[in-house]
Structure 1
Amino acid sequence: MDIAAEPCVQVDGSPKCCFFKFSPKITFTNVVRAHLWVYLRPVLHTSTVYLQILRLKPVTEKGSRHSRIRSLKIDLNSRNGRWQSIDFKHVLQNWFKQPHANWGIEINAFDMNGNDLAITSPGNGEKGLQPFLEVKVAETNKRTRRNLGLDCDEHSTESRCCRYPLTVDFEAFGWDWIIAPKRYKANYCSGQCEYMFMQKYPHTHLVHHANARGSAGPCCTPTKMSPINMLYFNDKQQIINGQIPGMVVDRCGCS
């Protein structure tokens, strides 16, 4: 399961970014992958940028208020700005294990002239460019015994209506504007709807056998579908986090 977490920006505080909130349900899952995405402002000429991610500590704690999490040296030559990702799995795992240690982070990306190119609190024309976390957590096993339908695989000899696994790979399509998920389990339905379905769909069954023009018997089709969360770039290079309905086949049946 892929999720996105946007920061709670403290406009009047220091620093302005970033503190990420997580639901208790997510903190009990296993983190498979986590990346922090930061947008760097455009530069006119190639510039060396030092990107720093600093962990914040309580104000009452003695010593420095920060400790370094990540430090990257980047040669930036984009006149349109660009998104930079930072591996954040280890940090997130620690936050989930010790929620009290999550006091937020500070992000900066200084060039050789001391200009901070990291957008942490979007200004005019910078909507959708705030930092965010892309997180993939392990799927939880959902157990239910009611009306599941049949599940098959590519080696199955089942001829009845069945749900088959299918993984959609956006990268294989060349859809590089999708950030996450890069691939997901879509599934599909296939198989025959035999005589046993006459009791459930008697009119459809009888019309089919009466050879009415254009008639058809029960078809194997999705009877339950679920959405997926998707992160993608719009035409302005802004990040959109949305839920796309009807993307996963959960159950197949005859109708």
Structure 2
Amino acid sequence: MLGFLLLLAAVPGCPGRPADGAEGWPLPGEDLEEVRSEALRRLLEVFGIEDPPHFSHHTKQPPQYMVDLYNTVADADGVTKDPHLLEGNTVRSFFDKIHSDRMHFQFNLLSVAKTEKILTAELHLFKLGPKVSELPSFRRHHFCQVNIYQVLDKNKMDFSQGKKLLSSRLIPLQASGWEVFSITQAVRAWNDEESANHGLLVTVWGLAGSPLEPNLVRFASGKHHHESKQPMLVLFTDDGRRGTVSFNSLQDASVQPAVLPNEPMAPYPNRTRLTRSLGAEDGRLPCQRHPLYVDFEEIGWSGWIISPRGYNAYHCKGTCPFPLGQNMRPTNHATVQSIINALKLTKGVNSPCCVPDQLFSINLLYFDDDENVVLKQYDDMVAGNCGCH
């Protein structure tokens, strides 16, 4: 893992040739801890995090909804199964912070950046099943109307001018389980103006606005029920951190990457003798993919990252000997460069580089400093194939 961190801080260059100082790090006069600290800082930048959260998931269970969502979009190593499954690239879950005796909920959204594009916001409420003593009431009532309001003024929540209707739906009285309501409009307003966040108010009525017996319809609260049933705000956003690398040979992004063999891409047979001086004669293998495992526990991040424990980023290494066969997945530019290099037509022209030409995204499920669980997707994190470019 230390080698991976040093690779992050290495001087950029062609992966097919060692970068200056890549062997024998740290360089003379450099402190190993300083190099490690700088490498970790750069790794945090890759993941869009300023400082690692000071929170351990070993003391708290993440919401099952977030765990299930992660397992839906990612495989065991965190690699994205299908980039179209997730709306945006970030999903956050927030728990109610005020634990009011009435159904008034408030969520702290300070961790959401102003620059993030809010796509969808949902209020998740767990409806409790009826008590035995309440069963006779179901003979007279079959459905209830649940209204979700944005609170405009905490002092006027019981009046129309103090709230704004966001969502309304009929729910069977005998039903139990999670109910989901769209509240996107309110959350966008809160993100634009933090002081406007006075929370949400939930009211329950009979059909046509008729009153219901007290406690006939009950939703779990953070104050009186297990944390697995707490009211929760789920926010889908896009933080604008999209992949910037594109290759002509990229496959359909909806196809899950297969496990590729780490075999060298040998040049086609019956080629000119120039291959002998540029290929395996020096003991280096042609361009191929090699493992590069990123272990979050070894880095010191296992306390706040829930899943995965690490992932195989892979890296590309090897020569791009003339002539470049199609099995080396060369671009036209790489083919021309290889010919110019082989024939020594122009001084200072190197052979093409062995680099990733297919990249896949990974997903992290983690706790932030506010104990919110975040699912974030990062583009261009796993080398799916290697080619000469």
2:238 corresponds to: 138
Q: Work out whether residues 48 and 73 of structure 1, in 8 Å CA contact, stay in contact via their aligned partners in 2.
A: no
Q: What is the CA–CA distance in structure 2 between the aligned matches of 1:86 and 1:49, rounded to whole Å?
A: 15
Superposed CA deviations along residues 122-143 of structure 1, whole A, max 9, x for unmatched, are: 534x331112222221241457
Superposed CA deviations along residues 25-71 of structure 1, whole A, max 9, x for unmatched, are: 53321112222111111135573222122333455779948413235
Q: What is the CA–CA distance in structure 1 between the aligned matches of 2:154 and 2:376, rounded to whole Å?
A: 41
Please point out which of 13, 17, 32 is paired with 2:119.
32
Please give the secondary structure, in 2, of the residue aligned with 1:6: strand
2:148 corresponds to: 53
1:119 corresponds to: 220
Q: What is the CA–CA distance in structure 1 between the aligned matches of 2:204 and 2:157, rounded to whole Å?
A: 26
1:72 aligns with 2:142: no
1:99 corresponds to: 194
Q: What are the within-5 Å matches in structure 2 for residues 88-237 of structure 1? A: 88-109=183-204, 112-115=212-215, 116-121=217-222, 123-124=224-225, 126-142=226-242, 151-152=246-247, 156=248, 158=249, 164-167=251-254, 193=265, 205=285, 218-219=288-289, 222-223=313-314, 226-229=362-365
Report the structure, 1 or 2, having the larger helix content. 2
Which runs of no fewer than 5 residues in structure 2 stay unpaired? 1-88, 207-211, 268-274, 292-312, 316-360, 367-371
Q: What is the CA–CA distance in structure 1 between the aligned matches of 2:156 and 2:123, rounded to whole Å?
A: 26
Please point out which of 9, 12, 23 is paired with 2:110.
23
Aligned-residue identity in percent: 9
Q: What is the CA–CA distance in structure 1 between the aligned matches of 2:169 and 2:228, rounded to whole Å?
A: 25
2:298 corresponds to: none
Q: Work out whether residues 52 and 72 of structure 1, in 8 Å CA contact, stay in contact via their aligned partners in 2.
A: yes
Q: What is the CA–CA distance in structure 1 between the aligned matches of 2:213 and 2:220, rounded to whole Å?
A: 17
Q: What is the CA–CA distance in structure 2 between the aligned matches of 1:137 and 1:143, rounded to whole Å?
A: 16
- C-alpha deviation, 1:241, in angstroms: 5.2
Report the structure, 1 or 2, having the larger strand content. 1
Q: Work out whether residues 165 and 188 of structure 1, in 8 Å CA contact, stay in contact via their aligned partners in 2.
A: no
CA 220–54 in structure 1, closer or farther in 2 if over 3 Å, else same: same
CA 71–3 in structure 1, closer or farther in 2 if over 3 Å, else same: closer
Larger RCO of the pair (alpha carbons < 8 Å, separation 6+):
2
Please give the secondary structure, in 2, of the residue aligned with 1:92: helix
Superposed CA deviations along residues 82-128 of structure 1, whole A, max 9, x for unmatched, are: 2111111111111111211001122244563232422233534x331
2:94 corresponds to: 6
Superposed CA deviations along residues 121-172 of structure 1, whole A, max 9, x for unmatched, are: 3534x3311122222212414577xxx6xx44xxx4x4xxxx645337xxxx
Q: Work out whether residues 242 and 379 of structure 2, in 8 Å CA contact, stay in contact via their aligned partners in 1.
A: no
Q: What is the CA–CA distance in structure 2 between the aligned matches of 1:188 and 1:135, rounded to whole Å?
A: 31
**Aligned residue-pair number:** 200
Instruction: Normalising by structure 1, report the TM-score.
Output: 0.57
Q: What is the CA–CA distance in structure 2 between the aligned matches of 1:9 and 1:29, rounded to whole Å?
A: 22
Please point out which of 75, 79, 84 is paired with 2:179.
84
Instruction: Normalising by structure 2, report the TM-score.
Output: 0.40
One-letter identity of the residue aligned with 1:205? L
Please give the secondary structure, in 2, of the residue aligned with 1:93: helix
CA 87–74 in structure 1, closer or farther in 2 if over 3 Å, else same: same
CA 66–121 in structure 1, closer or farther in 2 if over 3 Å, else same: farther
Q: What is the CA–CA distance in structure 2 between the aligned matches of 1:229 and 1:103, rounded to whole Å?
A: 28
Q: What's the Cα RMSD here?
A: 4.5
